[in-house]
Each structure stands twice: as structure tokens, then as C-alpha cells.
Amino acid sequence: MATYSSFEQLNFYRSMQLTITLPDILPDEISRVIKKVKEIFSQEGIAAEITPEPLSTDAWDSLNFDEIAVDTGRVDFAENHDHYLYGIAKRS
């Protein structure tokens, strides 16, 4: 069993991390859970920093289309994409 000085114990506990995985619940319910966790930590004299993590780690969910969009200069591309991609007659 390792022993720590009070300074080492303090540093050990400062770097401690607790992860709580919540089920799919509404934002109001999440706020209530976070508030309750803060209250419990406060009652125990534990300083807490709560940092939400992104809901998904799927790269497609964090894709920013504005960063990768290409301006084709064609104002009717959405309507006539078949024409520009496959040579089919325009709709308009």
C-alpha cells in the first residue's frame, strides 16, 4: 500500500475525474441531474467542474458543411443537379 503526504494526496484528488453517462433524457432533466450532483459535491466539500462531452464521437456528426462547401457558381444546382452531374435535360 502506498502512502502519500498531504500535498501528494491533494494533487491526487485534484486530478480525479468522474464520468457520468446519462440516458437519453430531455435537457431540463439533465439540468436537474447536474444541479443535484453539484449540491451533493458542495455538501461534501468537494470542488467540482462539470464539463459536458459531445453526445457523439462519430466524425459525421461533427462535419462542418460550411467549411467544405464548394461554390460552383450555379444558382440552380439544387434543382438541376441531374443535369450538371449526368447530362439530363434541365427541369426549368
**Average per-residue pLDDT for the chain:** 79
For 5-27, the pLDDT digits (tens) are 445 455 555 567 778 887 777 88
The count of domains in the chain is 1
In a domain? residue 76:
yes
Whole-structure pTM value = 0.41
In a domain? residue 59:
yes
* pLDDT tier, 2 (very low <50, low <70, confident <90, very high otherwise): very low
In a domain? residue 28:
yes
Distance of alpha carbon 73 from alpha carbon 68, whole angstroms: 15
**In which domain, by residue range, is 33 found?**
6-86
Please report, to the nearest 10 degrees, the dihedral formed by the alpha carbons of residues 75, 80, 81, 84 taken in order: -90
In a domain? residue 41:
yes
> Residues for the chain: how many in total?
92
